[in-house]
């Protein structure tokens, strides 16, 4: 059964694509079948196919394969959702940022779990607050990126009753990183625990 995870940023260049690709990497490493689906207008897949020598068009699956990951264009989402032939456990959909004119809020809200990516720099925190007030983000997990660990406690306090669904992404400069970093593994384990609770309808603060 497909579980759809929809990821969006509170503003541009906040790390949604890196988060999405690394979630696919984490799920794949731990025995789940997962893929990346580009739902934004940034043409990331086109760039991957042109820049990375190892990127291969997999015609039988209708995706681009690179670095052990399967990357699909958004046009393939319906086919993936309706496929009965060895379906993915997780479809991890990158919606870019919610301020983009092409962002589709109704489609984003239709996922099994939403993830909002935010920052806490002066030019980021107000965008984060605006996004958190949006009803479509009411049940979303929240990830802060590019955040000083010294600020974690203050941010969780600011998040109030959503502190339990708030995670902090470690620095990952390469979206296709495939190393064994404890902080990266711990972060994605915590995030996926939150995601699974949201999909099941539980609350992180009740666990």
Residue 88 lies in a domain: yes
Q: Identify whether 138 is part of a domain.
A: yes
pTM listed for this prediction: 0.95
Residue 106 in any domain: the answer is: yes
What residue numbers bound the domain in which 139 lies?
Answer: 3-200
Judge whether 99 lies within some domain: yes
Other Cβ atoms within 10 Å of 122 Cβ, number: 7
Q: What CATH number has the domain bearing residue 176? A: 3.40.50.300
Q: What phi-psi label fits residue 13: left (phi over 0), alpha (psi between -120 and 50 degrees) or beta?
A: left
For the chain, the domain total comes to 1
Give me the tens of pLDDT residue by residue for the chain, a chain 207 residues long.
689 999 999 999 999 999 999 999 999 999 999 999 999 999 999 999 999 999 999 999 999 999 999 999 999 999 999 988 888 999 999 999 999 999 999 999 999 999 999 999 999 999 999 999 999 999 999 999 999 999 999 999 999 999 988 999 999 999 999 999 999 999 999 999 999 999 998 755 554
Q: Looking at the domain assignment, is residue 69 inside a domain?
A: yes
For residue 207, what pLDDT is reported?
46
Q: What is the DSSP annotation of 43-56? A: -HHHHHHHH-TT-E
């Amino acid at each position: 059964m497909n579980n759809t995870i929809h990821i969006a940023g509170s503003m541009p260049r906040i790390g949604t694509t890196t988060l999405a690709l690394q979630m696919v990497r984490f799920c794949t490493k731990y025995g789940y079948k997962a893929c990346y689906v580009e739902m934004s207008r940034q043409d990331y897949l086109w760039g991957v196919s042109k820049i990375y020598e190892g990127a291969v068009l997999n015609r039988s699956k209708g995706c681009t394969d690179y670095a052990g990951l399967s990357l699909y264009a958004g046009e393939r989402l319906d086919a993936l959702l309706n496929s009965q032939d060895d379906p993915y456990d997780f479809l991890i959909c990158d919606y870019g940022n919610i301020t983009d004119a092409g962002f589709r809020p109704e489609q984003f809200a239709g996922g099994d779990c939403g993830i909002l990516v935010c920052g806490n720099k002066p030019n980021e925190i107000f965008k984060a607050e605006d996004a958190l007030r949006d009803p479509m983000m009411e049940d979303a997990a929240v990830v802060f990126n590019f955040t000083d660990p010294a600020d974690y406690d203050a941010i969780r306090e600011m998040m109030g009753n959503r502190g339990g669904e708030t995670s902090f992404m470690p620095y990952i400069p390469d979206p296709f990183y495939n190393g064994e970093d404890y902080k990266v593994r711990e972060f994605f384990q915590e995030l996926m625990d939150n995601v699974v609770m949201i999909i099941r309808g539980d609350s992180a603060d009740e666990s």
